[in-house]
A and B are shown apart, each in its own frame.
Chain A
């Protein structure tokens, strides 16, 4: 059973950069044909796909967040990461990491609440 676990700060100041890491267990992040995504959820915006990463570090990002997002992978630790720059209160949300394929996400982390506030 593949398990995903998000980790990172729960509180970040406006204008700063959010860094989150997703640790994958029960399967190798570099095997298979799955994509590894970040998704966030807030009351205001609902569920929002942020970006995805594929084996070899190939990435694609939501057009609405592309200018502020970057994702990376560390296969030696079976982890992938998210960086979101220039935070505002609108970025306050629960951030999920997830495994998926075209248009679906079959394994999710438990979620990490991130609050943007001074």
Chain B
């Protein structure tokens, strides 16, 4: 069982926006502003798309945005494109003993 809870799947049409939730606890998501999101295409390594809740790594589209409220973080993808179809994972810092706890992943179908 994953430490963070994500919906198994979401879907949207090209041009639409979707939001993926990531629910943790007061020991991880709720305790730190160190939530990150990853995009993973089949057979590829995860790619960082959001870090520290709402920051973009260099080269990542601003169609991806992150937010957090209490123990739940969210990833919003606007202007959906076919290439956004992938698995998305959230991750949170959970203290010095657990550097990163991941969500179970959400399959996005466009």
Chain A interface residues (CB < 8 Å from chain B) = 35, 37, 39, 46-49, 51-52, 60, 62-63, 96, 100, 102-106, 108-111
What residues on A are CB-neighbors of B92 within 8 Å? 103
Secondary structure dominating the interface of B: loop
Q: Closest approach, in angstroms, between the C-beta of A32 and any C-beta of chain B?
A: 15
Residue of A nearest to B28 (CB): A103
Q: Do B45 and A106 touch across chains, with their CB atoms under 8 A apart?
A: no
Contact residues of B between 6 and 38, Cβ < 8 Å to A: 32, 34-36, 38
What residues on B are CB-neighbors of A39 within 8 Å? 100
11 A-B pairs with C-beta separation under 8 A: A49-B98, A49-B102, A60-B97, A100-B99, A102-B34, A102-B99, A103-B35, A104-B52, A105-B38, A105-B91, A110-B44
Number of interface residues of B (CB under 8 A): 28
A102–B34 Cα distance when bound, in Å, is: 6
Q: Do B98 and A63 touch across chains, with their CB atoms under 8 A apart?
A: yes
What residues on A are CB-neighbors of B45 within 8 Å? 96, 108-111
Beyond contacts A48-B102, A60-B97, A103-B92: 6 other A-B pairs, Cβ-Cβ < 8 A, are A39-B100, A100-B100, A103-B35, A103-B51, A103-B99, A108-B46
Q: Do B104 and A104 touch across chains, with their CB atoms under 8 A apart?
A: no
Indicate if B86 sits at the interface (CB-CB under 8 A): no
Given contacts A102-B34, A103-B35, A106-B51, contact A49 B100 (CB under 8 A): yes
A39–B91 Cα distance when bound, in Å, is: 12
Given contacts A46-B2, A47-B46, A104-B34, contact A35 B89 (CB under 8 A): no
What residues on A are CB-neighbors of B101 within 8 Å? 49
Q: Mark B38-73, 1 if CB is under 8 A from A, else 0.
A: 100000111110011000010000000000000000
Q: Closest approach, in angstroms, between the C-beta of B38 and any C-beta of chain A?
A: 8
Nearest 10 interchain pairs by C-beta: A103-B93, A103-B34, A104-B36, A104-B51, A47-B102, A108-B45, A49-B100, A102-B34, A102-B93, A106-B48
Q: Do B100 and A106 touch across chains, with their CB atoms under 8 A apart?
A: no
What residues on A are CB-neighbors of B89 within 8 Å? 46-47
A4–B51 Cα distance when bound, in Å, is: 20
